[in-house]
């Protein structure tokens, strides 16, 4: 019989790529998504696939007796609020979705015999960390988003301890790739830059652009989650990155020759993020396969996906990040 996988947030950025991989690997896949950030368009190529079931629902409110939870083997939990900057203005919303949403999913499965629950955690829990950052690095949750994701992780391991749910948490560094978010909030650099490129407007770079991020391609992320699910490991935390960070200036050089506008550096943001990948490579037998340059080229080929994304400029970004400079130091 085919294994059954539940993907929360399965119409979103990473979740939809997870669905692609699972269907390719001959799973039956069930998706929960409220479509606040994700889109059915992300799953459109599977619309005739009888192995895919999609349910529109908020993870905070979905009935725990819903048939979507019946006989599932794996749960891949991606649903929740993302992006650091808007969390400063809406901390209650982030706590509700990322903490209580996780609680509700865990409660929905705790009386069912599942093989494994895989939690999409965030490397933002490390704050400004020494690099390369190991899994035992100090926790420093500087933003409501970081706190909400870390609390979701802690809750997951509490449920693992009390209710014996096998869990793995993957702390994702800077995921990028096709279908990344295009909503109205100010977030990840890719969505901002690709829209600016489409409109032939200046790229807005925070600081001097020399800061580095551990960009990991979304298909590599999905593969890591499947490796975690099918491994013999449980109740473990792994960093999910490449261990080879790239600068924002290098990213912009790959995108094109738009004019550049430099913005004030945001205090409280790490100068470099870089995952120590020794543990995930050794224990989950996973490694990244997509080179950063190739991943960016792929995004440029699909640039029209960001047509509906908001266009950010210096003034709009200043307004959107006002509370950052007010509260983060």
- Annotated active-site positions, please? 145
Q: Confirm if 251 and 296 have CB atoms less than 8 A apart.
A: yes
DSSP 270-320: -SB--B--HHHHHHS-----S-HHHHHHHHHHTGGGGGGSPPP-HHHHHHH
Q: Measured between alpha carbons, how far is 165 from 156 in angstroms, rounded to an integer?
A: 9
* Cα-trace Rg, the chain: 19
* The pair of three-digit structure tokens given for residue 263, joined into one six-digit string: 């913005």
Q: Confirm if 215 and 246 have CB atoms less than 8 A apart.
A: yes
User: Residue 60 class from Cβ within 10 Å (0-12 exposed, 13-18 middle, 19+ buried)?
Assistant: middle
Residues 6+ apart with CB under 8 A from 78: 7, 8, 9, 10, 12, 14, 15, 18, 120
Neighbours of 237 (CB within 10 A): 18
Q: Which of 136, 139, 117 is nearest to 128 (CA)?
A: 139
Q: Measured between alpha carbons, how far is 172 from 83 in angstroms, rounded to an integer?
A: 13
Residues 6+ apart with CB under 8 A from 295: 176, 177, 215, 217
Q: Confirm if 233 and 283 have CB atoms less than 8 A apart.
A: yes
Q: Confirm if 117 and 167 have CB atoms less than 8 A apart.
A: yes
Q: Which of 188, 183, 99 is nearest to 145 (CA)?
A: 99
Q: Measured between alpha carbons, how far is 86 from 93 in angstroms, rounded to an integer?
A: 10
Phi, then psi, of 303 in degrees rounded to 5 = -65, -25
């Amino acid at each position: 019989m085919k294994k059954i996988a539940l993907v929360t947030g399965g119409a979103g950025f990473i979740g939809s790529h997870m669905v692609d991989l699972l269907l390719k690997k001959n799973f039956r896949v069930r998706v929960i998504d409220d479509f606040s950030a994700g889109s059915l368009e992300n799953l459109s190529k599977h619309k005739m696939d009888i192995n895919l079931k999609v349910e529109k629902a908020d993870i905070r409110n979905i009935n725990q007796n819903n048939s979507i939870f019946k006989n599932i083997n794996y749960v891949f939990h991606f649903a929740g609020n993302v992006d650091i900057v808007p969390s400063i203005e809406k901390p209650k919303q982030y706590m509700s979705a990322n903490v209580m949403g996780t609680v509700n999913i865990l409660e929905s499965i705790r009386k069912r015999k599942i093989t494994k629950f895989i939690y999409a955690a965030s490397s933002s829990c490390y704050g400004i960390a020494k690099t390369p950052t190991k899994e035992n690095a100090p926790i420093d949750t500087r933003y409501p988003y970081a706190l909400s994701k870390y609390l979701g992780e802690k809750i997951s391991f509490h449920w693992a301890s009390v209710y014996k749910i096998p869990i793995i948490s993957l702390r994702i560094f800077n995921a990028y790739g096709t279908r990344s978010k295009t909503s109205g909030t100010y977030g990840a650099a890719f969505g901002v830059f690709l829209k600016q490129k489409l409109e032939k407007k200046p790229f807005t770079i925070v600081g001097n652009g020399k800061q580095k991020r551990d960009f990991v391609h979304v298909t590599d992320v999905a593969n890591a989650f499947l490796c975690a699910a099918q491994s013999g490991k449980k109740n473990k935390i792994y960093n999910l990155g490449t261990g080879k960070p790239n600068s924002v200036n290098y990213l912009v050089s790959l995108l094109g020759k738009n004019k550049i506008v430099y913005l004030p550096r945001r205090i409280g943001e790490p100068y470099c993020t870089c995952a120590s990948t020794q543990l995930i490579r050794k224990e989950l037998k996973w490694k990244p396969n997509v080179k950063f340059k190739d991943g960016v080229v792929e995004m440029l080929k699909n640039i029209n996906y960001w047509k509906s994304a908001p266009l950010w400029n210096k003034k709009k970004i200043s307004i959107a990040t006002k509370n950052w400079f007010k509260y983060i130091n």
